[in-house]
Amino acid sequence: MVITEIFKSIQGEGTRAGLPCIFVRLTGCNLRCTWCDTEYAFHGGTKFTLEEVLEKVEALAGEGPGRVSLVEITGGEPLLQPETPALAERLLAAGYTVMIETSGERFVGVLPRGVIKIVDVKCPDSGEPDTFDLANLAAVGPEDEIKFVIASRRDYDFARDFTARHQLAGRVRQVLFSPVFADPAGRWPGLDTRELVEWILADRLPVRLGLQLHKFIWHPATKGV
């Protein structure tokens, strides 16, 4: 496998936000979202065997009562690498709670049962609309989450209508609406969080506001957190 980084931090997003977590960031992505904050994972990386990845995770997890048991496989787009399902299987077998964050463009049904799937649906302002594989709707379940990253009112309307049309609230553990965080270098603006909250409340949506906690704790451009 080609790995950009493996590190321990807190989970910054989703329903497990705030929990200690080990991240395995795979290299490579076939999408180019306008607000992508991990462009450094598009290229480069280091080759690891599955055993080497597991050894690194074990070293970071530690032992005893304080052992970190939550692992997220992310990217880039982790499902571009054919070994990803096998890595997830090995981590599950080792007793970890395994999450995977994916763009939604790849079919998540290739993953072993027990993996918690965090599946994006790309909104229009991402620059990658219509890339979501609708087959993923049948492959997600009550432990999984579907996420929309929202940059504008247009994105919000798209996410609201997609959520209702496909009855997402009844398919997954949680639907997440996350505002775009402004780029520290000024390449793109952020969406005002209060504005997004007001839209959600006005429409009485069964969704959860998602904030990237790590960007409030560390500088938003910091890697490895």
- The pLDDT assigned to 219 comes to 84
Q: Report whether 68 contacts 62 (CB < 8 A).
A: yes
Q: Is the pLDDT of residue 9 over 90?
A: yes
- Which residues are registered as beta bridge partners of 176? 147, 208
Q: Report whether 26 contacts 52 (CB < 8 A).
A: no
Q: Report whether 24 contacts 121 (CB < 8 A).
A: no
pLDDT in tens, 124-155: 999 999 999 999 999 999 999 999 999 999 99
Structure pTM? 0.94
pLDDT tier at 211 (50, 70, 90 boundaries)? very high
pLDDT in tens, 68-106: 999 999 999 999 999 999 999 999 999 999 999 999 999
Tokens of residue 25, six digits: 């960031």
Mean pLDDT of the chain: 96
Q: Report whether 159 contacts 192 (CB < 8 A).
A: no
Higher model confidence: residue 185 or residue 72? 72
pLDDT tier at 6 (50, 70, 90 boundaries)? very high
Distance CA 94, CA 24 (A): 15
Q: Is the pLDDT of residue 221 over 90?
A: no
Sequence-separated (6 or more) residues with CB below 8 Å from residue 130? none
Q: Is 181 helix (H, G, I), strand (E, B) or coil?
A: coil
pLDDT in tens, 33-62: 999 999 999 999 999 999 999 999 999 999
- The pLDDT assigned to 214 comes to 84
Distance CA 20, CA 36 (A): 24
